[in-house]
Amino acid sequence: MSELRRKALEIIEQALREGRSKLLEHEALAVAELYGVPVAGYGLARNEDEAVEAAERIGYPVVLKIVSPDIVHKSDVGGVIVGLEKPEDVKKAYNEIIENVKRHAPNARIVGVLVQKMAPKGAVEVIVGGLRDPVFGPTIMFGLGGIFVEVFRDVSFRVAPFTERDAEEMINEIKASKILKGYRNLPPRDIKALIKVIMAAQKLMVENPEIRELDLNPVLSYPDSAITVDARIIVGREEHSEEHH
């Protein structure tokens, strides 16, 4: 078992032991990062001082988001505060988020608050997803992220294993690939960085059969880089696992 796989499995097993099929944000980001997905700097804070420590380490401005296995839409319960520039703002935001969540979702378990580096403006949002098809196995998806995914269903798929050239074809196949190549006043994006994210997602799905679904959305695409802000990972016990031991 590779070192990466071992570390990822520790996080996945922990969730399964706790009866969770969805990794918490910091767990999902950690697993994605292990496999080479570039993620915006983050830290989990369990009190206001830890929140400030994380913000100082990551660098301002930061975003704070509630971490709870029971809350799906964080914004709806006042669980997200963006654009925090200094320690006192972070402390205030930490306490505000905890109060909001206790008020709007009194029964939700609170694990802590995720402190995350706020990504620079000017990105094109894309999505890289993965699912385990019962017939074909690990399948990777690419498309424009954010609202575009919902509206246009403009996505491409590949069944693993595939090469970097296939990953590049996935990007070229979507109708919106024009936007990534530079369109009107939008400069071209770093396609190599996007290929790297797609290949990392593939490796993650192939090496970890417990991962049922993977959602890197949005991946922020810039002219010189790509960075993931949100990772969603759904896990389950592997079928026929006794055969593997």
What tens digit of pLDDT does each residue of 31-82 get?
999 999 999 999 999 999 999 999 999 999 999 999 999 999 999 999 999 9
Please state, rounded to an integer, the average pLDDT across all residues of the chain: 94
Q: Angle at which helices 25-34 and 191-207 pack, to 10 degrees? A: 100
Q: What tens digit of pLDDT does each residue of 126-146 get? A: 999 999 999 999 999 999 987
pLDDT at residue 239, as a whole number = 63
Mean local confidence (pLDDT), 195-202: 98
Residue 168 — φ and ψ, nearest 5°? Answer: -65, -40
What pLDDT, on a 0 to 100 scale, did the predictor assign at position 244? 42
Q: Is the pLDDT of residue 170 over 50?
A: yes
The CATH topology of domain 41-117 is Dna Ligase; domain 1 (3.30.1490)
Domain ranges in the chain are 41-117, 124-237
Segment among 13-27, 181-195, 230-244 with least mean pLDDT: 230-244
Give CATH superfamily name and number for 124-237: ATP-grasp fold, B domain (3.30.470.20)
If pLDDT is split at 50, 70 and 90, which confidence band does 152 have? Answer: confident
Do 94 and 45 form a contact (C-beta atoms < 8 A)? yes
The strand pair at 42-45 and 155-159 is best described as unpaired
Q: Which residues are paired to 26 by β-bridges?
A: none
Residue 243 confidence class, pLDDT cut points 50, 70, 90: very low
